[in-house]
Structure 1
Amino acid sequence: MKRIGVWLLVLLVAFGLAQKRVVLGVGGKTAVVYLPLTVVERLGYFKDEGLDVVIQDLQAGSRALQALVGGSVEVVMGFYDHTIQMQAQGRDIVAFVQVGRYPAIVLGVRSDLADQVRSVADLKGRRVGVTAPGSSTHFFLNYLLVKNGLRPTDVSVIGVSVGAQAVAAVQNRQVDALSNVEPAITLLEERGLIKVLADTRSTKGTREVLGGEYPAAVLYTTRAWLERNPDTAQRLVNAMVRGLRWMQGKSPEEIAAVLPEEYFLGDRALYLKVLRNSLESFSPTGRFSDTAPLRPLTVLSAFDPNVAKARIDLKRTYTNEFVDRVPKR
Structure 2
Amino acid sequence: MEELKLEHDYCCPGCDTRPQGADLGRRTVIGGIAALAASSLGIAQAKKVKIGTCGQFLCLVPYEVAKRRGYFRELGLDVEIIWAKGGTQALQFMIGGAVDYSATSLDAVLQARQRGAKVVQVASSGRLPLFALATAPKTAGAIQAVKDLAGRTVAVSGLGNADHLMLQYLLKRAGVDPKGVQYATIGTNLFEALKQGQVEAGMVQEPALSLLKEAGGRELVNLMDFNQAKAFMGGPYAFMGLNIRSEEREERAGEIRRIAKAVEKGIQFVQTARANVIVDSLPKELIVGGDRKQLEAIIDRYRRSLYQSSLKLDRDAAERTVDIQQAAGVLPAGFKVDEALDFGILG
Question: TM-score if structure 2 supplies the norm length?
Answer: 0.77
Q: Decide whether aligned partners of structure 1 residues 139 and 58 sit closer, same or farther in structure 2, where only a CA change above 3 A counts.
A: farther
- Structure 1 Cα separation of the partners of residues 248 and 266 of structure 2: 23
* Alpha-carbon distance, 1:132 to partner: 4.8
Change (3 A) 1:18 1:125: farther
- Counterpart CA distance in 1 for 2:53 and 2:177 is 31
Could you say which residue in structure 1 is the equivalent of 2:328?
303
Greater mean alpha carbon deviation, residues 208-217 or residues 52-61: 52-61
State the AA in 1 paired with 2:299.
L
Secondary structure at the counterpart of residue 104 of structure 2: strand
Contact 1:23–1:74 under 8 Å retained in 2: yes
User: Is 1:187 the equivalent of 2:211?
Assistant: yes
Q: Runs of 5+ in structure 1 lacking a partner?
A: 1-11, 325-329
RMSD: 2.8
Q: Secondary structure at the match of 2:134?
A: strand
Shift of 1:126: 4.4
Q: Deviation per CA, 1:62-94, whole angstroms, max 9, x where unpaired?
A: 332343344433321111223333444444422
For 1:196, the equivalent position in structure 2 comes to 219
* Contact 2:137–2:197 (8 Å) recurs in 1: no
Q: Which residue in the other structure is 1:98 paired with?
A: 124
> Which 5+ residue runs of structure 2 have no aligned equivalent?
1-38
Instruction: Choose the corresponding residue for 2:251, options 212, 228, 240.
Output: 228
Percent sequence identity is 25
Once the two structures are TM-superposed, the CA of residue 153 in structure 1 deviates from its matched residue by 8.0
Instruction: Give the C-alpha shift of residue 141 in structure 1.
Output: 1.9
Shift of 1:134: 4.1
Q: How many corresponding residue pairs?
A: 306
2:74 maps to which of 24, 48, 56? 48
Instruction: Using the TM superposition, give the Cα deviation of residue 57 of structure 1 relative to its aligned residue in structure 2, in angstroms.
Output: 1.6
CA distance in structure 2 between the aligned counterparts of 1:122 and 1:72, rounded to whole angstroms: 45
Structure 2 counterpart of 1:295, one-letter code: R
CA spacing shift, 1:83–1:160, aligned 2, 3 Å: closer
Cα 1:172/1:60, change in 2 over 3 Å: farther
Do 2:110 and 2:340's aligned partners in 1 also have CA atoms closer than 8 Å? yes
Contact 1:104 1:278 in 2 (8 A): no
2:313 match? 288
Per the alignment, residue 327 of structure 1 pairs with none
CA displacement 1:18-53 (0-9 Å, x = unmatched): 433333221224x21431111112112223333333
What is the TM-score when the length of structure 1 is the normalising length? 0.81
Q: In 2, Cα distance between the equivalents of 1:318 and 1:111?
A: 40
1:82-121 alignment to 2 at 5 Å? Answer: 82-121=108-147
Task: Report the secondary structure of 1:156's partner residue.
Answer: strand
Residues 66 and 234 of structure 1, relative CA distance in 2, 3 Å threshold = same
State the alpha-carbon separation in 2 of the partners of residues 116 and 302 from structure 1: 28
Q: Which residue of 1 aligns with 2:28?
A: none
Distance 2:148 2:103 in 1: 33
Higher alpha-carbon deviation: 31-40 or 262-271: 262-271
Aligned residue for 2:299, secondary structure, equals: helix
Contact 2:156/2:183, CA 8 A, preserved across alignment: no
Q: Is the contact made by 2:135 and 2:194 (CA closer than 8 Å) also made in structure 1?
A: no
Matches within 5 A, 1:14-53: 15-29=42-56, 31-53=57-79
